[in-house]
Homo-oligomer: A and B are copies of this chain.
């Protein structure tokens, strides 16, 4: 199908309407064919576990609803959802702007139909604050769509275009009937009045977000039958192309992390070069603990008041003391302002989504603190060592994670990342202690022992992880954790320092 850039169909004046029109008969023929073809394709998509997004954007009154109808009435409702988009509510406003769309991404084999979705925000930004404000949003959109596509999501984006006069006619008609007049918003009328400006805006938007992985299909939507037929045909062709596209074969061999030079990476030590054997007496510990908890407690109030969100990510060797360290941080916090998210293996639903999806669902609201006990770094740790994920996807993971954290950073989030490191002998001592203490036995599993057997592979994975994700906006802190006291104090102190830095204190 045509893209905006190639055909410039959006410049209406010189278009012959007759080329974008269907008779009732012509339409009926296409529709009947499509009913069978789309229904059949949907079954194949389900079987092939291909996730699909069909997105509709366009001028007010351009017929997005009718176009969506023509598509979904051919589909089995067990395989799709329709997501309409309104302005964000208060809860959504306290999360990164893409969050509410990211969590609605389709599972494997499902079709998500979006009415406007992440492009709607642009219009509001454009209308409320001026067009130049939309650049950071466009950047987020392209990153987001590229990440979806990397997982095999088929992205089909429609832009429905109608000329100024036609829009005016439709608005007037809606306003005449009291049962439809409420559908016309002030924004719609403003759009028609400033049609030329809107057109420039949309052109820029489409140009920048028309990418190889997420093309725009611009439809001249004056004729409803023509529009519906175009939508059905385009979707059918895109699904057929996706089904014909064989899944990318994995290549065996060492993982070579891929990161763009878009982000500045800070130098970082290798775990092997860090002296893990730091010492702290019980006395020093209790004294410092108390003072630091008081300080953090007060900072929590300030954060809440200033509505600054905080993410604290804990990674580390098994038995390195993450739980005990998290508890010392948690004790200083108001339970209504923080959540600890323990991260285990993904559930089937989580597995059917992008690897970052389950973290989008757990982001803190502004002013809140989210503590992750294990994190999105599972992608480049356990998934890498255990070969749960194809090598090429792992390699892309580093960049995806940097982008995810950059999104949090832009949103205003303080990001604190810990690697709690213990040496191999210390781990053995702790494993044995857990096994010999009845009340601690639930803490140790066969998996812990299996992981231990892969110690060297983990060291390699951790070194790569720190090297390629040690950005200036989300730096790693390596915590020498052979001494629990030392580790707890260092994490607490780091949390406090990071927050104070953000507060300019």
Is A185 located at the chain interface by the 8 A CB criterion?
Answer: no
How many subunits of this chain does the assembly comprise? 2
CB atoms of A298 and B342 under 8 A apart: no
Which residues in B have their C-beta under 8 angstroms from that of A64?
A: 336
Min CB gap A231→B, angstroms: 12
A336 touches B115 (CB 8 A): yes
Interface size class of A (residues with CB under 8 A): 35 or more
The minimal Cβ–Cβ distance linking A158 to chain B, given in whole angstroms, is 14
Task: Verify A331–B69 contact, CB threshold 8 A.
Answer: yes
Chain B residue contacts of A180, Cβ below 8 A: 301
* Binary flags per residue of A331-342, CB closer than 8 Å to B gives 1, else 0: 101111001111
Establish whether residues B439 and A36, one from each chain, have CB atoms under 8 Å apart when the complex forms. yes
CB-based nearest B residue for A181:
B305
Interface of A is mostly: helix
Please tell me if A81 contacts chain B, counting CB pairs below 8 Å: yes
Complex contacts, A340 vs chain B, CB 8 Å: 77
Are A342 and B78 interface neighbours, CB within 8 A?
Answer: yes
> Inside 8 A of A347's CB, which chain B residues have their CB?
349
Q: Is A388 interfacial (CB-CB < 8 Å)?
A: no
Chain B residue, CB-CB nearest to A334: B65
Instruction: Judge whether A330 is part of the interface by a CB distance below 8 angstroms.
Output: yes
* Residue with the greatest number of chain B CB neighbours at <10 A, chosen from A64, A84, A344: A84
What B residues does A92 contact at CB under 8 A?
A: 89
Interface residues of A in 41-87 (CB under 8 A from B): 43, 64-65, 68-69, 72-73, 76-78, 81-82, 84
Query: What is the 8 Å Cβ interface bit string for chain A, positions 23-52, against chain B (1 contact, 0 not)?
Result: 000000000000010011001000000000
Interface positions, chain A 2-40, Cβ under 8 Å from B, are 36, 39-40
Cα distance, A496 to B270, chains bound together (Å): 70
Is A148 an interface residue when CB atoms closer than 8 A count as contact?
Answer: no
Q: In chain B, what residue has the closest Cβ to A336?
A: B84
Contacts of A344 in B (CB 8 A): 78
Residue A260, interface by CB 8 Å: no
Q: Does A373 contact B (CB under 8 A)?
A: yes
Apart from A77-B323, A89-B89, A347-B349, what 7 extra A-B contacts exist at CB < 8 Å? A36-B439, A65-B335, A73-B330, A77-B341, A84-B336, A115-B335, A179-B301
